[in-house]
Structure 1
Amino acid sequence: MKLISIKRRTKSERRYTQKMGVLYTNVTYIKKYAFGVPFRTLHKYRGTYYGKIKGCEDCVLTS
């Protein structure tokens, strides 16, 4: 059993941008796991319709 591992997981989220309004997109999280429990998110990003990769800092989460 590995003590520390890194996993990538994609899930669909609802985001809000000033230009486009509400946006449903796939967001990929890269997390570090210790003993199978996640303890740190290393990076999160989303792919655009045109294939570009963007960080999630430019979008605001909505509730």
Structure 2
Amino acid sequence: MKLIKIKRKTRLEKRFTPKMGKLHTNVTYIQKRLFNIIPIETVHKYRETYYGEIKACEDCVLSK
């Protein structure tokens, strides 16, 4: 049995970019998990644009 596993999880989130305004997009999180239950850290998160490009989430800010 492995202690640490890598898991991907996709969620629909609200994002805000200065050029496009409000945006609803699928954001994929890659996380390290202990015993496949407890999340230890988020390794990377990215989103896919309307045109199929993959972008990191650091370029857009969460809207509230």
Which TM-score band (shorter chain)?
over 0.9
Give me the identity figure in percent: 65
Q: Which amino acid aligns with 2:26?
A: N
Give the Å deviation of 1:14.
Answer: 0.0
Give the Å deviation of 1:10.
Answer: 0.4
For 1:34, the equivalent position in structure 2 comes to 34
Q: Does structure 1 residue 10 correspond to structure 2 residue 10?
A: yes
Give the Å deviation of 1:62.
Answer: 1.2
Structure 1 segments of 4+ aligned residues over 6 angstroms from their partners: none
Measured in 1, the distance between the counterparts of 2:28 and 2:63 equals 17
TM-score by length of 1: 0.95
For 2:21, the equivalent position in structure 1 comes to 21
Q: How many residues align?
A: 63
TM-score by length of 2: 0.94
Measured in 2, the distance between the counterparts of 1:59 and 1:39 equals 24
Measured in 2, the distance between the counterparts of 1:18 and 1:62 equals 11
Question: Mind listing any 5+ residue stretches in structure 1 that lack a counterpart?
Answer: none
